[in-house]
Copies of this chain bind each other. A is one copy, B any other.
Amino acid sequence: MTQVHRRRFLRRARDIAGAVVSAVLAPRAAAAIETTKYQGAPTREYGSRSRFETLKRWVMPTRYPSSSASWTPLGDLDGIITPSALHYERHHAGVPDLDPATHQLTIHGLVDRPLEFSMKDLRRFPAVHRICFLECSGNGSQEYRGPTSENVQQTHGLTSCADWGGVALKTVLNEAGIRSDASWVVAEGADGAAMTRSIPLAKCMDDVILAYAQNGEALRPEQGYPVRLLVPGFEGSISVKWLRRLKLTASAYYTREETSKYTDLMADGRARGFTFVMEAKSVITSPSAGQELSGPGYYEIRGLAWSGRGKISRVDVSVDGGESWRQATIHGPVLPICHTRFSLDWQWDGSTSTLLSRCVDDTGYTQPSRRQLVQQRGENSFYHYNAIQAWRVDSAGVVHNA
């Protein structure tokens, strides 16, 4: 760093940090550091988190615990990788206990050669990797008709992001030989729901992955162990877990999960189906509902943005309910179809403030307001809720869902 650059940096850093110190830093009596006097714990073959850490997924109370979901604590996480232990879950009949030594994936239907693959077979194909988010299309749906949830874990926690690894589906489909009359792939899971979804063949030949790895190691059981589909940018339920079967067909199957569920009832009484793509969305994770500011002063507004169509290109933040907006800093790496961090420096003056974030993706799509979304889709919609989220900071510093 040259001297000139360093001076310029120091000046900016002082502007930011000076604000922090005035609020929180006061010399304290040094605590006795007993840990330097003793040998600590030895190495371990497989680690676990500190006994002081208690973050957990939020599990919605349901009558049938095996058809349930759990939400990622977005307000308490850092970076873009969601720890596998805290990745959101959604399953319709619980998590099956599959043995990778006997699990098989069948590919049949409109193919030249029906084939069965063991997990060992799949690992012989060229491997692909991708850092990518998955989001349930029901994420935030309870907010469609107004604020109801207590915190950002409940409003937005059905999205998570991981480093996925596996085989490009196109490689395996070509192995079976695709007949010219095939245009859909019907995927079936080995769970109690035999979860079944239809996927356009064109998407399967583009970027779909037969994923067997998550954040370096094998998929977690609740993420489809030993193999799942990963359909980048599409609603989560398409990424069928515990994958046992892919059937190439001439048309979609119109299963339960693409008729009575995972369709959007529009204002005119008709339902949209096969609304695959998760459009751009952002949320301020801090300050967010349930958190409390310790008094007027400096705060870093932090959040996440993501789009099923590509990269996040811009995020704007308002602290006055949309009267004015400032452009947030986007933190790299900015990857397509991936959680992306943003931040903005904020001096809170102690008055009631309404915080909003609004993102734009590289297709030019801008995240809508709730009003815009309702205008477009009517009052009866449920899935694919991606409106701007408002948090209200009251004069006591308590943050509310607004």
Assess A225 versus B192: contact at CB under 8 Å? Given A94-B42, A125-B300: no
Assess A43 versus B68: contact at CB under 8 Å? Given A115-B25, A191-B36, A216-B82: yes
Q: Give complex CA distance A160, B50 in Å.
A: 20
> Chain A 87-98 against B: per-residue CB contact (8 Å), 1 yes, 0 no?
101010111111
* A101-127 CB contacts (< 8 Å) to partner B: 101-104, 106, 114-118, 120-121, 124-127
Q: Tell me the number of copies of this protein.
A: 2
Do A102 and B46 touch across chains, with their CB atoms under 8 A apart? no
Minimum distance in angstroms from A242 CB to a CB of chain B: 7
Do A216 and B41 touch across chains, with their CB atoms under 8 A apart? no
Chain B residues within an 8 Å CB radius of A86: 46-47, 216-217
Chain B residues within an 8 Å CB radius of A9: 170, 205
Q: A interface vs B, CB < 8 Å?
A: 1, 6, 9-10, 13-14, 16-18, 20-21, 23-25, 27-28, 30-31, 33, 35-53, 55-57, 59, 64-66, 68-70, 77-87, 89, 91, 93-104, 106, 114-118, 120-121, 124-129, 131, 163-166, 170-172, 174-175, 190-192, 194, 202, 205-206, 212-213, 215-218, 220-222, 225-226, 242, 244, 298-300, 302, 331, 333, 335, 341, 343, 345
Chain B residues within an 8 Å CB radius of A166: 78
Minimum distance in angstroms from A95 CB to a CB of chain B: 4
Do B78 and A165 touch across chains, with their CB atoms under 8 A apart? yes
**Closest residue of chain B to A14, judged by CB?**
B174
Minimum distance in angstroms from A191 CB to a CB of chain B: 6
Do A333 and B331 touch across chains, with their CB atoms under 8 A apart? no
Minimum distance in angstroms from A232 CB to a CB of chain B: 14
Do B170 and A79 touch across chains, with their CB atoms under 8 A apart? no
Do B345 and A126 touch across chains, with their CB atoms under 8 A apart? yes
Q: Give complex CA distance A1, B343 in Å.
A: 36
Chain B residues within an 8 Å CB radius of A104: 28, 30-31
**Closest residue of chain B to A55, judged by CB?**
B217
Do A220 and B121 touch across chains, with their CB atoms under 8 A apart? no
Do A33 and B77 touch across chains, with their CB atoms under 8 A apart? no
Chain B residues within an 8 Å CB radius of A83: 84, 215-217
Do B36 and A46 touch across chains, with their CB atoms under 8 A apart? no
Do B217 and A77 touch across chains, with their CB atoms under 8 A apart? yes
Q: Give complex CA distance A276, B91 in Å.
A: 49
Do A25 and B85 touch across chains, with their CB atoms under 8 A apart? no
The residue in A14, A79, A124 that gathers the most chain B C-beta atoms within 10 A of its C-beta is A79
Minimum distance in angstroms from A105 CB to a CB of chain B: 11
Assess A43 versus B78: contact at CB under 8 Å? Given A35-B97, A333-B333: no
Assess A66 versus B44: contact at CB under 8 Å? Given A25-B121, A25-B175, A99-B52: no
Assess A43 versus B57: contact at CB under 8 Å? Given A35-B190, A129-B331: yes
**Which of B20, B37, B81, B93 is in CB contact (< 8 Å) with A215?**
B81
For the complex with contacts A10-B174, A17-B172, A27-B115, 6 further pairs of A-B residues with Cβ separation under 8 Å are A1-B206, A44-B59, A46-B86, A47-B84, A49-B217, A77-B216
Do A80 and B129 touch across chains, with their CB atoms under 8 A apart? yes
Minimum distance in angstroms from A399 CB to a CB of chain B: 16
Chain B residues within an 8 Å CB radius of A171: 13, 16-17
**Which of B85, B242, B299 is in CB contact (< 8 Å) with A35?**
B242
**Which of B24, B28, B37, B79 is in CB contact (< 8 Å) with A216?**
B79
Assess A80 versus B40: contact at CB under 8 Å? Given A9-B170, A16-B126, A125-B300: no
Minimum distance in angstroms from A9 CB to a CB of chain B: 7
Q: Give complex CA distance A41, B91 in Å.
A: 10
Which 8 residue pairs are nearest across A and B when measured between Cβ atoms? A40-B94, A78-B165, A78-B213, A35-B96, A45-B56, A42-B65, A79-B163, A39-B66
